[in-house]
C-alpha cells in the first residue's frame, strides 16, 4: 500500500512538472500581426513589428491603479542601448536606457492613477538608430 501511494505521488509530481515547464510565459512578446495586435488580440495590448524585433505596449487596471508597460523583444541585429517609454495625452515618459541584445525582452513599467485606465497609450522606443512607436492601446 505504501509503495503504491509513493508511485502515485511520483507520477503526479512528474505530470505536474511537465505541465509547469511546458507553459509559455504570458509576457513573451514574440508575435505582432499586421494590424498591430499581439497574440491576445485585445486593444489594451498593441504592438509594432520592426526589422529587428517587436515593440509592445500594455495597460491594465490593478486595484485602483493603472499599470502601463512598454517592452521590446529583440530578434536580430546588434546590441543596442535604448529607452522604453509611453505617451499619454501627447506627453512622453521614458525610463532610463537599457542594453538589449538578440533574444532578450526588456520591459519598463509605470503606475498611474485609476483614471488613466482605458485612455489612449502609445509604446515608445528610442535609440541612436531612431524612434519608434506602437499604435495606441485603449479599451
Q: What whole-number distance in Å separates Cα of residue 26 and Cα of residue 122?
A: 20
Q: Is the pLDDT of residue 67 over 80?
A: yes
Q: Classify residue 97: in a domain, yes or no.
A: yes
Q: Classify residue 30: in a domain, yes or no.
A: no
pTM (2 d.p.): 0.79
CATH number assigned to the domain comprising residue 85: 2.60.40.10
Write down the mean pLDDT value for the chain. 84
DSSP-derived pairing of the beta strands 121-127 and 130-133:
antiparallel
pLDDT of residue 18: 29
Q: Classify residue 25: in a domain, yes or no.
A: no
Q: Classify residue 9: in a domain, yes or no.
A: no
Q: Classify residue 27: in a domain, yes or no.
A: no
Range of the domain at 80: 45-133
Query: Into how many domains does the chain fold?
Result: 1
pLDDT of residue 28: 65
Q: Is the pLDDT of residue 29 over 90?
A: no
Q: Is the pLDDT of residue 10 over 70?
A: no
Cα–Cα distances in angstroms (integers) from residue 107 to residues 15, 49, 122, in the given order: 32, 16, 14
Q: Classify residue 119: in a domain, yes or no.
A: yes
pLDDT of residue 20: 28
Q: Is the pLDDT of residue 16 over 80?
A: no
Q: Classify residue 14: in a domain, yes or no.
A: no
Q: Is the pLDDT of residue 1 over 90?
A: no
Q: Classify residue 39: in a domain, yes or no.
A: no
Amino acid at each position: 500500500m505504501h509503495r503504491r501511494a509513493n508511485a502515485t505521488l511520483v507520477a503526479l509530481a512528474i505530470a505536474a512538472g511537465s505541465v509547469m515547464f511546458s507553459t509559455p510565459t504570458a509576457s513573451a512578446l514574440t508575435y505582432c500581426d499586421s494590424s498591430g495586435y499581439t497574440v491576445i488580440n485585445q486593444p489594451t495590448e498593441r504592438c509594432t513589428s520592426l526589422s529587428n524585433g517587436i515593440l509592445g505596449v500594455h495597460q491594465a487596471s490593478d486595484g485602483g491603479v493603472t499599470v502601463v508597460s512598454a517592452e521590446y523583444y529583440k530578434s536580430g541585429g546588434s546590441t543596442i542601448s535604448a529607452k522604453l517609454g509611453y505617451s499619454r495625452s501627447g506627453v512622453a515618459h521614458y525610463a532610463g536606457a537599457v542594453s538589449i541584445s538578440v533574444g532578450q525582452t526588456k520591459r519598463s513599467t509605470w503606475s498611474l492613477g485609476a483614471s488613466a485606465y482605458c485612455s489612449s497609450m502609445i509604446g515608445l522606443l528610442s535609440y541612436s538608430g531612431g524612434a519608434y512607436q506602437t499604435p495606441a492601446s485603449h479599451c
